[in-house]
C-alpha cells in the first residue's frame, strides 16, 4: 500500500503487511507528537459517514463488489458502536478506522481506501462536521435575536442616556439600544450562512491532490453527504482551508459584537442602570456587598480567544505551498475553539441582557444628564430656518453656562445664549413650548423619528422589519439543516441495501 493512495498493491493479500496502512515508519519518539488521533474525536462520526459514502460510490462504480462493500460497511457499524475511544493507535482517525475495519474483516477492508487519500478524506470530514457546528451556532444567533427583539419591544419607550466616547450624548430608549445589537447579530447571521455555504462543498475525490485513475463519481459522494457542490480542482480541494478562515472569522466578528454588548452591560450595571440577574453575577470572597457582572467580563475576554484562533489559523496557513502539508492538521483546532467558545459566549451575553432588570427610575433621571438634549434644541432652531452651524453656536453658549452652573438649561438660558448670535430674539424663531419640549428627554427622543431613529414609532418600524428578516433567516437555517438531514437518510438507506 502506498502512503496516501489506497490502491491495491503486492502486499494486499499478506495479512502481516495488509493490516496496517503501509506505514514504513511506525514507532519512534515523534509518533505521538505527530498524531492527531485524540483531537480527531471531533470528526469520528464525520469520518464514518465519509467512509460509507465513499464505499457506496465505489460499489456503484463497480470498483469494489457488493459483498466487499457489505463487509466493510458492517465493520464500520461495529467501529461506530465501539466508539472513538476503542480505536487502535494511529496517526489519525482515518488511519485508525481503516485499521479497525481491517482488524475486523481482514485485508478486504483495505479496499475502502481505494481511489482516495487521507488528504481529501480529512478535508471532507472537517467540512462535514463544521457544517453542523455552524448550523448550531446559527440556531443560537437566531434565537438570541428573537430574545433581543422581544425585550426591545417591552422597552420601546423606556428612555435612557445614550453615549459617545462614554460621555452623555443624546437620550435614546432601551428598545433602540437593544435593536442595535440585534441588527449586528443579523449581519453575523449573514456571515455565518455565507461561511456555511462555502464550507458545504465536497473535496472528496481529490485524492492526495492529483486525482485518481479510478472512474469515481464525485457528484454522487457529494450527494450522499449532503454537500451542495464539488470543489472541482483536486489540488485546490485538498489544500484549501479558506472555509475555516471564513468560519473562524465570522465567529471572531460575532465575538467582537458580543464583547461590546458585555462591556456596555458592565458599565450600565456599575451605574445602576440595570441589575444583572443573579444567574449571571458573582459576589466577592471578601466584600460581602458586591454583585459583580463576572459572566460578562468573561464574554468580553473570550473575544481574545476567538481573535487568537483566527490569528493562529491565518498564521498557520500563511505561505503554505501547494498542496497538502500537515501544517493543515494544526490549523483545524483553531476553528473548533472558535465554534465552541463563541456560541457559548453568545448565550451568556444575550441571556444576561434579556433577564436583567432595567432601573427605569435611574434611567429617566439620567436620560437628560450632561445637557444631552442640546442637539435637539439646535435641531429645533435649524428646523425654524436658522443655519445649523449658527444654531449649534447658540446651544454651545448655553452648554458653557451649564458647565459653569451645573444646572440643566431652561428656555431662559437658551434665550440668553441666543442674544448676539441670532439677529432676532429666540421667540421670533421658536416658541417657548417647543424649546421646553426639546429640553425634555422623552420629547427629545420622540422628535428623532427618522428611519432607524430612537423615537418609539421608529423603533417599532425597525422592529417589524427585523422580525421579517429574522423569519427569513430562520427559514434559511432550517432549509440547510433539512438538506443535511435528507442526505443522512439517503446515505442510511443506501448503506442498508448492502445488509
d(CA 173, CA 455): 8
324 binding ligand ARG? (CB under 6 A): yes
Q: Interaction with ligand ARG in 388-417: which residues (CB under 6 A)?
A: none
d(CA 354, CA 335): 29
Question: Nearer Cβ to ligand ARG, position 111 or 113?
Answer: 113
Q: Work out how close the CB of 145 gets to ligand ARG at its nearest, in angstroms, rounded to a whole number.
A: 35
Q: Work out how close the CB of 454 gets to ligand ARG at its nearest, in angstroms, rounded to a whole number.
A: 50
Question: Nearer Cβ to ligand ARG, position 121 or 437?
Answer: 121
Q: Work out how close the CB of 299 gets to ligand ARG at its nearest, in angstroms, rounded to a whole number.
A: 31
Q: Work out how close the CB of 226 gets to ligand ARG at its nearest, in angstroms, rounded to a whole number.
A: 21
Part in contact with ligand ARG (CB under 6 A); list of ranges 72-80, 117-125, 223-231, 400-408: 117-125
The residue within the footprint of ligand ARG, chosen from 5, 59, 114, 119 (CB under 6 A), is 119
Question: Nearer Cβ to ligand ARG, position 61 or 325?
Answer: 325
Part in contact with ligand ARG (CB under 6 A); list of ranges 79-87, 115-123, 132-140, 450-458: 115-123
Question: Nearer Cβ to ligand ARG, position 307 or 323?
Answer: 323
212 binding ligand ARG? (CB under 6 A): no
Question: Nearer Cβ to ligand ARG, position 72 or 122?
Answer: 122
Q: Work out how close the CB of 205 gets to ligand ARG at its nearest, in angstroms, rounded to a whole number.
A: 16
Q: Work out how close the CB of 23 gets to ligand ARG at its nearest, in angstroms, rounded to a whole number.
A: 10
The residue within the footprint of ligand ARG, chosen from 4, 182, 223, 246 (CB under 6 A), is 4
Does the annotation mark 165 as catalytic? yes
Q: Interaction with ligand ARG in 30-69: which residues (CB under 6 A)?
A: 36
By CB neighbour count within 10 A (0-12 exposed, 13-18 middle, 19+ buried), where does 490 fall?
Answer: middle
Part in contact with ligand ARG (CB under 6 A); list of ranges 136-144, 211-219, 324-332, 428-436: 324-332
Q: Work out how close the CB of 245 gets to ligand ARG at its nearest, in angstroms, rounded to a whole number.
A: 16
235 binding ligand ARG? (CB under 6 A): no
d(CA 174, CA 164): 16
Q: Work out how close the CB of 60 gets to ligand ARG at its nearest, in angstroms, rounded to a whole number.
A: 26
Contacts 24+ apart (CB under 8 A), 471-477: 473/142, 473/145, 473/186, 473/189, 473/193, 474/142, 476/193, 477/135, 477/138, 477/139, 477/142, 477/193
Catalytic residue among 86, 284, 489, 497: 284
Q: Work out how close the CB of 49 gets to ligand ARG at its nearest, in angstroms, rounded to a whole number.
A: 16
Q: Interaction with ligand ARG in 293-312: which residues (CB under 6 A)?
A: none
The residue within the footprint of ligand ARG, chosen from 53, 72, 102, 122 (CB under 6 A), is 122
Question: Nearer Cβ to ligand ARG, position 118 or 448?
Answer: 118
Part in contact with ligand ARG (CB under 6 A); list of ranges 118-126, 220-228, 249-257, 400-408: 118-126
CB within 8 A of 149, min separation 6: which ones? 178, 179, 182, 463, 466, 467, 470
Does the annotation mark 284 as catalytic? yes
Classify the phi-psi angles of 88: left when phi > 0, otherwise alpha if psi is within -120 to 50, otherwise beta: beta
The residue within the footprint of ligand ARG, chosen from 92, 146, 182, 341 (CB under 6 A), is 92
> For residue 46, which of 133, 112, 131, 125 has the smallest C-alpha distance?
125
Part in contact with ligand ARG (CB under 6 A); list of ranges 170-178, 320-328, 342-350, 364-372: 320-328
The three cell numbers of residue 189 are: 447571521
The residue within the footprint of ligand ARG, chosen from 46, 57, 76, 328 (CB under 6 A), is 328
239 binding ligand ARG? (CB under 6 A): no
d(CA 197, CA 391): 52
Question: Nearer Cβ to ligand ARG, position 56 or 122?
Answer: 122
Question: Nearer Cβ to ligand ARG, position 4 or 51?
Answer: 4
329 binding ligand ARG? (CB under 6 A): yes
Question: Nearer Cβ to ligand ARG, position 203 or 368?
Answer: 203
Q: Work out how close the CB of 264 gets to ligand ARG at its nearest, in angstroms, rounded to a whole number.
A: 40
Catalytic residue among 165, 285, 450, 493: 165
Interaction site with ligand ARG (CB under 6 A) = 4, 36, 92, 94, 118-119, 122, 324, 326, 328-329
Give the active site residues.
Answer: 165, 284
Amino acid at each position: 500500500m502506498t502512503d496516501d493512495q489506497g490502491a491495491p498493491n503486492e502486499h494486499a493479500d499478506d495479512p502481516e503487511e495488509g493490516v496496517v496502512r503501509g506505514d514504513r515508519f511506525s514507532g519512534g519518539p515523534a509518533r505521538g507528537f505527530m498524531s492527531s488521533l485524540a483531537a480527531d474525536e471531533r470528526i469520528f462520526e464525520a469520518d464514518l459517514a465519509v467512509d460509507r459514502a465513499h464505499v457506496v460510490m465505489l460499489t456503484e462504480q463497480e470498483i469494489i463488489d457488493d459483498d466487499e462493500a457489505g463487509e466493510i460497511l458492517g465493520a464500520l457499524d461495529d467501529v461506530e458502536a465501539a466508539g472513538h475511544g476503542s480505536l487502535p493507535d494511529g496517526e489519525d482517525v482515518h488511519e485508525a478506522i481503516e485499521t479497525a475495519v481491517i482488524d475486523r474483516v481482514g485485508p478486504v477492508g483495505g479496499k475502502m481506501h481505494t481511489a482516495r487519500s487521507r488528504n481529501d478524506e480529512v478535508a471532507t470530514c472537517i467540512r462535514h462536521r463544521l457544517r453542523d457546528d455552524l448550523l448550531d451556532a446559527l440556531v443560537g444567533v437566531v434565537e438570541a435575536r428573537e430574545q433581543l427583539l422581544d425585550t426591545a419591544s417591552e422597552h420601546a419607550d423606556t428612555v435612557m442616556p445614550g453615549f459617545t466616547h462614554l460621555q452623555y450624548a443624546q437620550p435614546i430608549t432601551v428598545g433602540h439600544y437593544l435593536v442595535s445589537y440585534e441588527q449586528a447579530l443579523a449581519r453575523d447571521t449573514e456571515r455565518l450562512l455565507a461561511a456555511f455555504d462555502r464550507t458545504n462543498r465536497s473535496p472528496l475525490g481529490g485524492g492526495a491532490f492529483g486525482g485518481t485513475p479510478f472512474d469515481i463519481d464525485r457528484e454522487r459522494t457529494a450527494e450522499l453527504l449532503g454537500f451542495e457542490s464539488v470543489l472541482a480542482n483536486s489540488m485546490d480541494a485538498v489544500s484549501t482551508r479558506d472555509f475555516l478562515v471564513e468560519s473562524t472569522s465570522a465567529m471572531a466578528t460575532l465575538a467582537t459584537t458580543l464583547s461590546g454588548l458585555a462591556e456596555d452591560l458592565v458599565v450600565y450595571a456599575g451605574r445602576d442602570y440595570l441589575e444583572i440577574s443573579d444567574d449571571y453575577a458573582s459576589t466577592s470572597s471578601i466584600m460581602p456587598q458586591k454583585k459583580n457582572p463576572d459572566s460578562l467580563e468573561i464574554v468580553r475576554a473570550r473575544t481574545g480567544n476567538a481573535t487568537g484562533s483566527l490569528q493562529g489559523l491565518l498564521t498557520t496557513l500563511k505561505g503554505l505551498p501547494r498542496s497538502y502539508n500537515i501544517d493543515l492538521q494544526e490549523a483545524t483546532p483553531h476553528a473548533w475553539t472558535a465554534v465552541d467558545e463563541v456560541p457559548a459566549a453568545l448565550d451568556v451575553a444575550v441571556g444576561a441582557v434579556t433577564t436583567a432588570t432595567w432601573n427605569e427610575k435611574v434611567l429617566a433621571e439620567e436620560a437628560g444628564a450632561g445637557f444631552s438634549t442640546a442637539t435637539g434644541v439646535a435641531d429645533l432652531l435649524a428646523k425654524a430656518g436658522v443655519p445649523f452651524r449658527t444654531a449649534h453656536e447658540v446651544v454651545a453658549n448655553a452648554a458653557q453656562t451649564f458647565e459653569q452652573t451645573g444646572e440643566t438649561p431652561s428656555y431662559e438660558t437658551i434665550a440668553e445664549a441666543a442674544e448676539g448670535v441670532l439677529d432676532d430674539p429666540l421667540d421670533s424663531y421658536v416658541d417657548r413650548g417647543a424649546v421646553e419640549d426639546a429640553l425634555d428627554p422623552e420629547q427629545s427622543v420622540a422628535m428623532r423619528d427618522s428611519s432607524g431613529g430612537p423615537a418609539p414609532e421608529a423603533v417599532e418600524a425597525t422592529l417589524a422589519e427585523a422580525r421579517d428578516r429574522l423569519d427569513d433567516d430562520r427559514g434559511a437555517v432550517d432549509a440547510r439543516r433539512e438538506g443535511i438531514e435528507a442526505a443522512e437518510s439517503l446515505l442510511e438507506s443506501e448503506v442498508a441495501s448492502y445488509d
